[in-house]
C-alpha cells in the first residue's frame, strides 16, 4: 500500500471508525456482562462421573465398566464418562439398564453423540420415531432448598447415599427424556434408548436445547452432561422412562455430586477463582 494512501483523509477516517467500533463493542460487552468465551468448571474435588456408586438403591452394577478404545474416546471427545450395566428388578422380573453419562465443559462447539447417530453408525436401525416422554420421578424423596430465591422456580435438594446434601437441576420436577426404538442385527428383541441433558444447572431432553442452556451470553462458565439409559427389556418408551425414574430416585443425587453446583457458581462462591466472586469482593472493598 502506498504511503500517500495510508495518510489520506479517507483512509484515516475509515480506520478511526473501525477502531472506535471495536472499542465500543468491547465496552458494550463489558457493560452488559456478556461472556463470549466460556470458562471450564469441574465438580468439587474434580469428582468424575465414574465415581457414581456401583449400587444405586435396588440397582447394582453387573460386570465391569466399559472402557472405550482410543478411537471411540476421540469420538466421544471427553475422558470424563462412565458406561456400565445396572441390574435390578422391575415388575417382578430382573432387568438390565445400560447407563451412560459423559461430562463436557468450557467452549464446546458440538453436543456429544446421541443414540440416533451412534447406534445407527454401529449397525442398528431405527424402528420408531424419537419421542420426548416424561420421566416420572418420585419427588417425595427430595425437598425444596429454602436458602435459594424461588422466584424462578423451586430448587430441589436430595441426599446422596453417604448423606451428602446436593442440589438438583432446575426443572427436575418436569424431567423429560428423548427415547428412540432400535433393532439390532440378529436380535429379535427391540432396544429402547433414551437420554436427557443437565446443562448449567437445568435439564433438557434434546441436544439442540443444550446450547440455549449452557451458552447463555451472561454466564461465565459452561458445562453439560449427557445422561443415557438403554434397555433390551423395556416394553415402550414410557416403560424405559419409568425404569430410569426408579434408578434416578437415588441415582440423580449421585450424578449431581459429580457436577458443579450451579447455584454456587452463579453466586460467585465456586470455584475459588470465580470472576463473580472476585468482582463482588472488589465492590465490597471499594465501599
**In the chain, pLDDT over 90 holds for what percent of residues?**
63
Check if the beta carbon of residue 180 is closer than 8 Å to that of residue 115. Answer: yes
Distance in Å from the first CA to the final CA of the chain = 53
Degrees (nearest 5) of the Cα angle 54, 52, 204? 125
The pTM for the full model equals 0.84
Q: Work out the pLDDT band at 24, boundaries 50, 70, 90.
A: very low
How far, in Å, CA of 131 to CA of 119, rounded? 16
How far, in Å, CA of 210 to CA of 190, rounded? 28
Domain segments of the chain: what residues? Answer: 44-267
- pLDDT tens by residue, 78-109: 999 999 999 999 999 999 999 999 999 986 66
Instruction: Answer whether residue 43 shows pLDDT above 70.
Output: yes
How far, in Å, CA of 249 to CA of 254, rounded? 10
How far, in Å, CA of 17 to CA of 24, rounded? 10
How far, in Å, CA of 65 to CA of 145, rounded? 34
Instruction: Answer whether residue 55 shows pLDDT above 50.
Output: yes
Please, which residues have CB within 8 angstroms of residue 158's CB and are 6 or more apart in sequence? 141, 142, 143, 165, 166, 168, 252, 253, 256
* Mean pLDDT confidence for 211-228: 90
Amino acid at each position: 500500500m502506498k504511503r500517500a494512501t495510508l495518510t489520506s483523509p479517507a483512509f484515516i477516517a475509515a480506520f478511526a471508525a473501525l477502531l472506535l467500533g471495536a472499542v465500543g463493542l468491547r465496552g458494550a460487552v463489558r457493560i452488559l456482562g456478556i461472556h463470549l468465551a466460556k470458562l471450564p468448571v469441574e465438580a468439587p474435588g474434580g469428582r468424575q462421573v465414574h465415581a457414581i456408586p456401583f449400587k444405586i438403591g435396588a440397582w447394582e452394577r453387573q460386570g465391569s465398566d466399559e472402557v472405550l478404545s482410543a478411537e471411540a474416546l476421540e469420538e466421544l471427545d471427553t475422558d470424563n464418562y462412565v458406561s456400565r450395566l445396572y441390574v435390578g428388578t422391575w415388575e417382578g422380573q430382573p432387568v438390565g439398564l445400560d447407563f451412560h453419562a459423559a461430562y463436557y465443559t468450557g467452549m464446546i462447539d458440538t453436543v456429544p453423540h446421541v443414540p440416533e447417530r451412534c447406534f445407527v453408525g454401529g449397525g442398528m436401525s431405527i424402528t420408531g420415531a424419537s419421542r420426548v416422554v416424561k420421566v416420572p420421578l418420585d419427588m417425595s424423596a427430595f425437598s425444596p432448598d429454602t436458602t435459594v430465591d424461588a422466584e424462578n422456580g423451586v430448587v430441589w435438594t436430595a441426599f446422596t447415599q453417604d448423606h451428602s446434601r446436593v442440589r438438583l437441576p432446575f426443572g427436575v420436577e418436569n424431567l423429560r427424556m428423548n427415547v428412540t426404538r432400535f433393532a439390532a442385527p440378529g436380535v429379535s428383541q427391540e432396544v429402547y434408548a433414551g437420554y436427557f441433558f443437565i446443562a448449567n444447572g437445568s435439564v433438557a431432553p434434546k441436544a439442540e436445547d443444550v446450547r440455549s442452556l449452557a451458552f447463555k451470553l451472561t454466564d461465565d462458565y459452561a458445562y453439560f452432561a449427557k445422561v443415557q439409559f438403554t434397555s433390551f427389556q423395556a416394553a415402550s418408551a414410557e416403560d424405559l422412562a419409568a425404569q430410569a425414574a426408579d434408578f434416578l430416585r437415588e441415582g440423580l443425587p449421585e450424578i449431581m455430586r459429580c457436577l458443579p453446583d450451579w447455584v454456587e457458581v452463579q453466586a460467585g462462591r465456586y470455584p475459588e477463582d470465580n470472576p463473580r466472586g472476585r468482582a463482588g469482593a472488589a465492590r465490597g472493598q471499594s465501599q
